[in-house]
Amino acid sequence: VMLGYPSCKPQLGSSANTKNPIDLSNIDKRLPMLVYISREKHPGYDNQKKAGAMNVMLRVSALLSNAPFVINFDWDHYINNSQALRDPMCFMLDPRGGQNTAFVQLPQRFDDVDLTDRYSNHNRVFFDGTMLSLNGLQGTTYLGIGTMFHRVALYGMEPPRYRAESVKLVRKAAELGNSTQFLNSIPDGAIQERYITPVLVDEGFSNDITTLMTCAYEDGSPWGRVIGWVYNIATEDVVTGFRIHWQGWRSMYCSMEPAAFRGMAPINLTDRLYQVLRWSGGSLEVFFSRSIDLQRIAYLNMSIYPIATMFVL
């Protein structure tokens, strides 16, 4: 399902009247291009849950807009601050090192939390303490929500390999798939200052998008290992962030008021304990895995916190 590009001219709303007391005459009511994706699922393939969906959207968005920055947040969150997109881009466009910043992580904040935050849903110590302090190392880890990425960082490229003045494809075509249009979009995706021309959505373009969404597209390719979101692990977000750091990128933690994003939190103890159990299991899985050893040691506090908290209690 696709909502096309908005027109170039502003479309102002209606003035206040008896049926609608709100004056919208100075409000531009155009909507940005919106695409709803329902990817292919096949009994012979593992859909890889959220990680698989994110990789599909990464490829499809390359054909639709190919914007140099990608932001993700879950279905139960919404943008709460009009500067939520601008502030992370300031880090990435910083001439003092922004080109080496792979992603900017923003904290999670929730609406349905009581004044005492009895279940510690806001995780103030974790976000405003641990995450902020990691800016002094290689940067915060990726938490799977409220994050803005450099698109090329998700393609498995190392930061020194691309610059605006000498952008080139550094991977073989077979590693990224068999879509010529997608491969051609990769060098352009690394250029930050450019005009995005609306694409012509015809039958051929729709077929290209369908190809990128098929289950078989990633067969025999590094998607899910060194390209895109990592597969076959419960905490694909943390491991994806570790892999990006391992490739030489940095990251940043950014907090703002009012909060950039807000969402729904567990409202009872049972749901909260289940959520913590899932996070703890994923963290221990990262700690005992055999990949990304140096990152696992550098961010030891994150991967063993389920064990460390037992002694605190």
Tokens, residue 256: 């703002």
Contact indicator for 108, 143 with CB cutoff of 8 Å = yes
How many angstroms separate the CA atoms of 130 and 151, rounded?
A: 26
Q: Is 74 annotated as a binding residue?
A: yes
How many angstroms separate the CA atoms of 292 and 61, rounded?
A: 29
Contact indicator for 276, 91 with CB cutoff of 8 Å = no
Q: Can you list the pairs that 114-123 forms with residues at least 24 positions away whose Cβ atoms lie under 8 Å?
A: 119/265, 119/266, 119/269, 119/272, 121/265, 121/266, 121/272
Q: Pairing mode, if any, of strands 147-150 and 101-105?
A: antiparallel
Q: Is 172 annotated as a binding residue?
A: no
Start-end of H helices in the chain = 49-64, 86-92, 124-125, 132-133, 151-154, 173-176, 180-189, 203-213, 236-246, 269-287, 293-298, 300-303, 305-312
Q: Is 168 annotated as a binding residue?
A: no
Q: Pairing mode, if any, of strands 147-150 and 250-253?
A: unpaired
* Beta-carbon contacts of residue 285 (< 8 Å; ≥ 6 apart): 233, 234, 235
Encoded amino acid at 236, one letter: E
Binding positions for UDP-alpha-D-glucose are 49
Binding positions are 49-50, 74
Binding positions for Mn(2+) are 50, 74
